[in-house]
């Protein structure tokens, strides 16, 4: 019964957002636009998962000026700017931080700044943890920017009975979830592409990493032990057991994550009984 209630809440929440969006922007998606904005917040992983959806939008608006509006949250956190600053398919990246919109006055100044960009079409690639309140706030902000057509607001997480949801409800991976949002706007998403701007500095860093392995020809498996959603956090002991098994099979292991995941990676390394990268 609880699972049915949760599913109903998802359906009702998204129907409500769809209705509000249709009231604000009743027309069909413009086939052409002078300036298109993609709104996607988050850190490195959030940005990477959104790349195929961004690529699909760019392919649909090849001649448009394309802006990426993004925020990594607090200052000092890595995000889209560090990953995509040299991407040739982006015309501009606008980065803001949480302390820049923490008062009503700052929010109004921020909205005025975006209004000056003369955005015609805006796609929000919604954060997995976005709430109904946040979605409505963002939709209102986009309207204040003078955008002629907006799309993308979704509820993908209801913060109630998370364990039950993980057991009873299917959640698509983040890449597929965002591609579906874009596809529902009528954009072709058949080509799943990750257009990362790779340069010589990146190639040198990869070569240096490969050279650090005892056997540079062995397979490499990356393990990310951290996760924002609590139900996505596998017990560290199990990560360690898998890592140790793979290491015994001759596989190179790389533990990855953000600054907040360091303690988890250290514990996996210690529990595995083998020196891991």
Please tell me whether residues 150 and 47 are part of one structural domain. yes
Domain boundary among 183, 212, 232: 183
Report the distance separating Cα 125 and Cα 36, nearest Å: 13
Q: Residue 41: pLDDT above 60?
A: yes
Tell me, what's the pLDDT at 270?
86
Number of separate domains in the chain: 2
**pLDDT single digits (tens) 208-236:** 877 877 776 788 888 888 776 666 778 89
Please tell me whether residues 244 and 109 are part of one structural domain. no
Please tell me whether residues 62 and 111 are part of one structural domain. yes
Residues whose CB is less than 8 angstroms from the CB of residue 28 and which lie 6 or more positions away in sequence, other chains included:
none
Tell me, what's the pLDDT at 4?
75
The answer to whether residue 277 sits within a structural domain is no
**pLDDT single digits (tens) 231-253:** 677 889 999 899 889 888 888 88
Tell me, what's the pLDDT at 11?
81
Per DSSP, what are the bridge partners of residue 70? Answer: 95
**pLDDT single digits (tens) 177-196:** 999 999 999 999 988 999 98
Please tell me whether residues 20 and 48 are part of one structural domain. yes
Report the distance separating Cα 83 and Cα 81, nearest Å: 5
Please tell me whether residues 159 and 268 are part of one structural domain. no
- Domain encompassing residue 73: 2-183
Please tell me whether residues 75 and 160 are part of one structural domain. yes
Please tell me whether residues 57 and 177 are part of one structural domain. yes
Please tell me whether residues 130 and 225 are part of one structural domain. no
The answer to whether residue 189 sits within a structural domain is no
The answer to whether residue 155 sits within a structural domain is yes
Please tell me whether residues 102 and 46 are part of one structural domain. yes
Please tell me whether residues 175 and 238 are part of one structural domain. no
CB atoms < 10 A from the CB of 176, how many?
16
pTM: 0.82
Average the pLDDT over 204-209 and give the result.
84
Q: Assign residue 97 a region (left: φ > 0; alpha: ψ between -120 and 50; beta: otherwise).
A: beta
Q: Residue 56: pLDDT above 70?
A: yes
Please tell me whether residues 168 and 64 are part of one structural domain. yes
Report the largest interatomic distance among the alpha carbons of the chain, rounded to a whole angstrom. Answer: 61
Q: Return the sign of the alpha-carbon dihedral for residues 171, 73, 96, 83.
A: negative
Please tell me whether residues 161 and 261 are part of one structural domain. no
**pLDDT single digits (tens) 146-165:** 999 999 999 877 666 666 66
The answer to whether residue 112 sits within a structural domain is yes
Question: CA dihedral in degrees (207, 208, 214, 215; nearest 10)?
Answer: -10
């Amino acid at each position: 019964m609880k699972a049915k209630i949760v599913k109903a809440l998802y359906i009702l929440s998204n129907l409500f957002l769809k209705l509000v969006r249709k009231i604000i922007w009743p027309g069909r998606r413009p086939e052409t636009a002078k300036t298109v904005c993609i709104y996607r917040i988050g850190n490195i992983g959030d940005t990477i998962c959104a790349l195929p959806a961004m690529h699909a939008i760019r392919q649909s608006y090849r001649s448009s000026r394309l802006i990426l509006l993004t925020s990594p949250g607090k200052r000092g956190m890595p995000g889209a700017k560090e990953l995509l600053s040299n991407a040739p398919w982006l015309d501009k990246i606008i980065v803001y931080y949480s302390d820049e919109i923490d008062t009503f006055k700052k929010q109004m100044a921020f909205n005025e700044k975006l209004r000056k960009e003369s955005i015609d079409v805006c796609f929000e690639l919604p954060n997995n943890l976005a709430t109904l309140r946040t979605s409505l706030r963002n939709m209102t902000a986009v309207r204040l920017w003078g955008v002629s057509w907006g799309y993308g607001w979704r509820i993908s997480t209801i913060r109630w009975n998370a364990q039950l949801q993980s057991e009873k409800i299917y959640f698509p991976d983040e890449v597929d979830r965002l591609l579906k949002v874009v596809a529902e706007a009528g954009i072709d998403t058949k080509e799943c592409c990750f257009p990362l701007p790779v340069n010589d500095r990146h190639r040198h860093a990869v070569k240096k990493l490969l050279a650090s392995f005892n056997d540079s020809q062995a397979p490499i498996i990356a393990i990310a032990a951290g996760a924002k959603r609590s139900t996505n956090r596998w017990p560290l002991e199990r990560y360690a057991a898998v890592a140790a098994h793979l290491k015994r099979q001759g596989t190179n292991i790389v533990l990855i994550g953000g600054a907040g995941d360091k303690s988890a990676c250290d514990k996996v390394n210690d529990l595995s009984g083998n020196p891991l990268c």
